[in-house]
Structure 1
């Protein structure tokens, strides 16, 4: 498949991908008074986490939790790029499968992330890093906000084109009804108002956001108030890095940022390899000459892109739609 055709298909699929989900039942979760947050009631928590490598072996850095984007399972999102890169480095990693291809109620998805963080922390015997794409870069913030015990378990939160402040693209898509996760990622959604009420970051955690200003899914994504960016009103150390700050003429769409983009990967690697968030000044500008990240197998690239697009199309076509945004859980009200 010609590269221009693949890029066009990726862009079209990505525009659909950020905008659908499965119906989640927004029942209230009983709160705990021991500082750990609401009880986890989502089914299938133990089955949603898959790991590779010895999590307790810190020789290659903290283990990384991989959180996929909307419409995607973690294998399709990560097994041919970031998971492959981490395995090659000897870095242990886990991936969490979010219900309904990450199209359902994000509040339910967050419970899977909380369980994954706790499980990995226990097995590693120390803090972990979290790397997520799109919704997967935003939902860990919900986990950290409402389950306070997880804050001491995480050293880095890295989001690739995260939907931290939503997207206006979801409005036309949700006009006739859409999946819960699309409702919740609309700019101004009740879910996002609750998420962003208060500080964006927590002390002791380093936050890196890497994004493209040419994102056609998370819109608008232009500084100084890009939808992906976190605000500097919290206690955590923070870096918001548009890839164009490193390579000014770089063009990347949403799906390629979460799978193959070489500049995005360089920022992620910098964040994982250094204390503190990523620093664009440390990135070798030779990365601007690359077209894919190092771990991507060029021979398998067309097949993996086709697999990615098929996953997006299947999720968009088959996951049930709902007529309104799921109500906030009791713990998030007020």
Structure 2
């Protein structure tokens, strides 16, 4: 029980940071805003981890990850698909992607990102109903395709952001627009959060209390009606390549195997510790993990894949 309790403590600390920033921001309960594409969006500096990124974006809630949203970017013949970054529950785009966005841009990709599913101007995002957030993501994806002239795009998503594009694929024509979906610790089959979230669902007043500011929490409980519908009839479609990159030290998607998709010819499920046993990254830190970053690059361009250099990667919060 020691390790799960420590991980829950780390999760609680991170959620405390996020909620604290939300109180300082505009709030959590306002309706989710539709995706907007201003002429020029401010971008921030690269960050070494999600804690520094959260702190930076808390005072600058509209900042975008470095090297994103260059609307004049022309995809190269080597990388014809723009990459759309899709962030996880509670965090904003900058917090999740202020490390990986630069890695992708340096590799020659046109990279795009957006805050969705939260009150406009709040550092707390991706908390609205998952279907609504996915719909907004699809709308933003259409703008990316129109701006770049690309036929299809690739999506790299974290947590809910690795799962909700599947709603886009299943219900909003995404199978014609998404070439690759790469999920970092995605909540494909939801979570029981060490039993706590599932327990809450059995107490309607608590469930409803959480559902007012955070509908996405209830949607991602492993037995939710949303996930049952999303996964009904098969959780993948032909024509889209799916990659899941997961850590066994995940303290949010529990059990961690709920991240994985059903085996199929177009599915690759990767456990980080099978690639490198020394990698101890957790759910919150996986977007800043250099081993996971190399696996993302490999999934985006298998023809140039390189084995990650195995090294010790500590858990972000312990």
Please identify, of 128-137 and 171-180, the stretch whose mean Cα deviation from structure 2 is larger: 171-180
Q: What is the aligned counterpart of 1:165 among 179, 189, 195?
A: 189
Any idea what the Cα deviations from partners look like across 1:75-100, whole Å, max 9, x if unmatched?
Answer: 12112x11111222231111021121
Deviation at 1:115, TM superposition (A): 0.6
Quickly say closer, same or farther: Cα 1:94–1:78, change in 2 above 3 A.
same
Which residues of structure 1 form unaligned runs of 5+? Answer: 1-6, 26-41, 293-304, 307-334
Deviation at 1:54, TM superposition (A): 4.0
- Whether 1:245 aligns to 2:254 is no
Any idea what the Cα deviations from partners look like across 1:133-155, whole Å, max 9, x if unmatched?
Answer: 0000000001110012x212111
- Whether 1:217 aligns to 2:248 is no
Residues 244 and 250 in structure 1, CA contact (< 8 A), matched pair in contact too: yes
Determine helix, strand or coil for the equivalent of 1:254.
Answer: coil
Aligned to 2:302: 274
Deviation at 1:167, TM superposition (A): 0.4
Determine helix, strand or coil for the equivalent of 2:34.
Answer: coil
Give the root-mean-square deviation of aligned CA atoms.
Answer: 3.3
Any idea what the Cα deviations from partners look like across 1:251-278, whole Å, max 9, x if unmatched?
Answer: 22111012x1122112111001226xx9
C-alpha distance in structure 2 between counterparts of 1:107 and 1:23, whole Å: 17
C-alpha distance in structure 2 between counterparts of 1:205 and 1:117, whole Å: 15
The residue correspondences of 1:173-322 to structure 2 (distance < 5 A) are 175=203, 176=206, 177-178=209-210, 179-221=214-256, 226-232=257-263, 237-258=266-287, 260-274=288-302, 283-284=306-307, 287-289=309-311, 291=313
- Whether 1:75 aligns to 2:103 is no
C-alpha distance in structure 2 between counterparts of 1:151 and 1:132, whole Å: 16
Aligned to 2:114: 96
Aligned to 1:302: none
Determine helix, strand or coil for the equivalent of 2:299.
Answer: helix
Which residues of structure 2 form unaligned runs of 5+? Answer: 1-6, 42-67, 119-124
Q: What is the aligned counterpart of 2:162 among 130, 133, 137?
A: 137
- Whether 1:122 aligns to 2:146 is yes
Residues 183 and 189 in structure 1, CA contact (< 8 A), matched pair in contact too: yes
> Looking at both structures, which has the greater relative contact order when contacts are Cα pairs under 8 Å and sequence separation is at least 6?
1
Determine helix, strand or coil for the equivalent of 1:122.
Answer: helix
C-alpha distance in structure 2 between counterparts of 1:182 and 1:137, whole Å: 15
Residues 246 and 283 in structure 1, CA contact (< 8 A), matched pair in contact too: no
Deviation at 1:53, TM superposition (A): 6.0
Deviation at 1:291, TM superposition (A): 3.5
Deviation at 1:69, TM superposition (A): 0.5
Deviation at 1:248, TM superposition (A): 2.5
Aligned to 2:3: none
Determine helix, strand or coil for the equivalent of 1:52.
Answer: coil
Deviation at 1:110, TM superposition (A): 0.9
Determine helix, strand or coil for the equivalent of 1:288.
Answer: coil
C-alpha distance in structure 1 between counterparts of 2:14 and 2:200, whole Å: 13
C-alpha distance in structure 2 between counterparts of 1:58 and 1:156, whole Å: 17
